[in-house]
Chains A and B, each alone.
Chain A
Amino acid sequence: MQTFIARSIAWPETATSIRERVRALIASHPRDPDPAKRANCWSVADPAFSASLGEAGFIGMTWPKAYGGHERSSLERYVVLEELLASGAPVGAHWIADRQTGGMLLRYGTEEAKRKWVPGMAQGKVFSCIGLSEPNAGSDLASVRTSARRKGNRWVLEGQKVWTTGAHFAHVMIALVRTTEGSERNDGLSQFVIAMDTPGVMVKPIIDLTGGHDFNEVFFDSVELEEHALVGVEGDGWRQATAELSLERSGPERYLSSTALFMELLRFVGPAPSNDIKQLVGRLTADMWTLRMMSATVAAKLAAGEDPALEATIVKDLGNSFEQAMPELVQATIDLDLSGDDPLARVLGHLLQVSPSFSLRGGTREILKGIIARGLGLR
């Protein structure tokens, strides 16, 4: 039984030159003095950095040139992503637009919606968020109740989304809502593209346990949308949105969120530490290296036009467990004053607190394991 066929990976010939360009761009950008900002960096928004990445052609890399993209291969894009994450660059502002929304609009959106939103996303100036969860629809996403009803040639939205990452700086949302009154579960759902400055859209922050602000509640009070705001086919929203989820799960951000901690650990312990520290570093290295190979294998399968949804799920589950284990292992091995200013203590303290969210966002561990169990023929 093999749920994940390993494969030799052919890296793009341009990989080395792309890495050099990305590293130079990161080095030229002013660095946040707080080392904790380099941990879990795809939640750290810096619009100026996103704009310079867009200008350099590192956003929307695989999109058509006609919509501001660069028509590069998905493995070249993968190289850019892992460079950004490994250095802890603040990529949070444009991350969702680049990873999901742009591609989704290009695939399902109307011509008007594509022209309106995608070029700005590729420039790193238009940011997006995704409206999935609701107060009574978390892991059970098919329970969404937010509705859109036709009114003449317009749509009217009513309801509420929650845990919406980046809604407070996003320009646009793609939301999954119910378009057929009385429909149940995954029937009768559709996707809409919503400008966040549309009258009736209200964003309310949710402050996390560290005092940080990543996610929000978003309310829709008689929000009127034009016809072309419908994304794809009316009633086909569930299929469209779940296809998006497997793209969401496959990227290198699913194992690299704690990399800043590993880098600070290496700085802290120096070139020739004691045996127990060497062993910890060795173990973490083997895990990280293996996850990198797994994640790149998924990218290679995507590039070959396959649908490695199960493999992507495995990478996310294993990756989340790794990036959650690392803070605990470092804390157990290195004696640190967590109230101190040492960069290792700063990053560790931050990750100890935020890492529980890693196996919640983008599909909880329990949901992922259920999907893998289905792949094993158990459900």
Chain B
Amino acid sequence: MNEQQTMLDDMTSALFAELGQTTPLAESWPKIDELGLPNLLVGVEAGGFGGSWQEALIVFRNAGFHALSAPLVEAILAAHVGSSLGFAGRGTIANCTDASSSDGRFTGTLRGVVAADGANFVVVPLADRGSMVVALDNTTRHERFSLSGEAHDVVSLIDARAVRSPVDMMALAAFARSAQIAGALDASLALSAGYVNERKQFGRMLAKFQAVQQNLATFACEAAAANCATMAAAQALDRGDAGFEVAAAKLRCNRAVGVGTAIAHQAHGAIGFTAEYSLHPFTRRLWAWRSEFGNDSHWADWLGGDVCARGADGFWSHLTHLTDRMIA
């Protein structure tokens, strides 16, 4: 990390730790807004932070690590697309791709709109890998909740302003979820390692049982894989074309979720299953994020299709082409 990145890391870590998983949006958002974080990816000339995708990774990962309930990740992605198209205020994204596409005015229903209440616009990923930005005025909102209790509303609109964008929000949001998964896995791993070092059974710490040690070691490998795959995707996004790297990252992170959450709960025993204990804000988010912006089969289809089409002779040369553009 360079100096600016270290500052961003420290600042967001401290803020997200303070806001945590329960601060109401009305209270948390002014603090987030004050620091200019929603404009992380907006250009400096437009009054933004002018951040890179590697800097977005720092913020997204920290949001996952602290199970931040405020919809900052969504706002950053939405502003990246919406600000240059004349949309202002807090933006958000929708996690369903089944909206009918429209350029100009939109009448219809959007599903999976994250924290729609009070949001000014939403960026909707479309099945053709473009996206659509829709103003959230005069909406009828039906509350729905994700597995982790976050608002994922169904929103009906009549004649709302809508603009098509070529930006592949599906991929960008898949990257963001990968980064959040990487952070939340690290946090669950830390909780698990801490817990087994406190809890005694059969006269010794759980950490001293080899079976427990080996499980957590397996978990650490998965968390490491999620972090590295996501870093590679961030690096590729900063270079431009990142379809392959993002697909690989979301698929790899999704697979790490299964191993990681299972081991975290196993290590915690029954206490980790209670509402009171703070493991579930991580594991329930991890389970939710696995479905959002492409489940395993979605990205495996895409990636497998791409690789098979290139064939045995094109596979390795493609992989090396992807990295060799990342020169010193």
Contacts and interface: CB of A to CB of B under 8 A. Distances in A.
* Chains A and B form a bound pair: yes
Contacts of A286: 229, 247-249, 251-252, 255, 299-300, 303
Given A272-B309, A278-B301, A378 B328 contact: no
Interface stretch (A43-51, A102-110, A291-299): A291-299
B323 A11 contact: yes
A373 B213 contact: yes
The winner among B190, B207, B299, B305 for most chain A CB atoms within 10 A is B305
Contacts of A285: 248, 303-304, 307
B232 interface: yes
Interface stretch (B38-46, B151-159, B217-225): B217-225
Contact of A278 (B229, B304, B327): B304
Interface stretch (B96-104, B108-116, B124-132, B312-320): B312-320
Contact of B327 (A10, A272, A291, A314): A10
A263 B312 contact: yes
Contacts of B309: 271-272
A275 B230 CA distance: 26
Interface string A3-36: 1111111111101100100000000000000000
Contacts of B138: none
A290 B220 contact: no
A4 B228 contact: yes
Contacts of B245: 289
A264 B315 CA distance: 11
A12 B327 contact: yes
A297 B244 CA distance: 19
Interface in B154-200: 186-187, 189-190, 193, 196-197
Contacts of A83: 320
A1 B193 contact: yes
A264 B311 CA distance: 10
Interface in B18-55: 54
Given A273-B308, A282-B304, A376-B193, A11 B328 contact: yes
Given A6-B231, A285-B248, A272 B217 contact: no
Nearest to B222: A318
A287 B248 CA distance: 8
Contact of A289 (B207, B210, B229, B304): B229
Given A8-B231, A285-B248, A13 B328 contact: yes
Contact of B302 (A3, A269, A282, A292): A282
B323 to A, nearest CB: 5
Contact of B197 (A13, A366, A378): A378
A345 B315 CA distance: 20
A314 B221 contact: yes
A279 B217 contact: no
Given A6-B228, A269-B308, A287 B252 contact: yes
Q: Which of A1, A11, A273 has the most CB of B within 10 A?
A: A1
A370 interface: yes
B3 interface: no
Contacts of A273: 308
A239 B227 CA distance: 31
Contacts of B135: none
A6 B230 contact: yes
Contacts, number: 198
A266 B232 contact: no
B326 A10 contact: yes
A370 B311 contact: no
Interface in B239-296: 244-245, 247-249, 251-252, 255, 296
Contacts of A212: none
B216 interface: yes
17 contacts: A1-B186, A3-B220, A3-B223, A8-B231, A9-B235, A277-B304, A278-B305, A282-B303, A286-B252, A293-B228, A311-B224, A314-B221, A318-B224, A376-B189, A378-B193, A378-B216, A379-B208
Q: Which 5 A-B pairs have the closest CB atoms?
A: A282-B304, A282-B300, A1-B190, A278-B304, A4-B224
Interface of A: 1-13, 15-16, 19, 82-83, 86-87, 262-264, 266-267, 269-273, 275, 277-283, 285-287, 289-294, 296-297, 311, 314, 317-318, 366, 368-370, 372-373, 375-379
Interface of B: 54, 186-187, 189-190, 193, 196-197, 207-208, 210, 212-214, 216-218, 220-221, 223-225, 227-232, 234-235, 244-245, 247-249, 251-252, 255, 296-297, 299-305, 307-309, 311-312, 315-316, 319-320, 323-324, 326-328
Given A8-B54, A293-B229, A378-B216, 7 more contacts: A12-B327, A13-B327, A282-B299, A294-B224, A314-B220, A369-B214, A375-B220
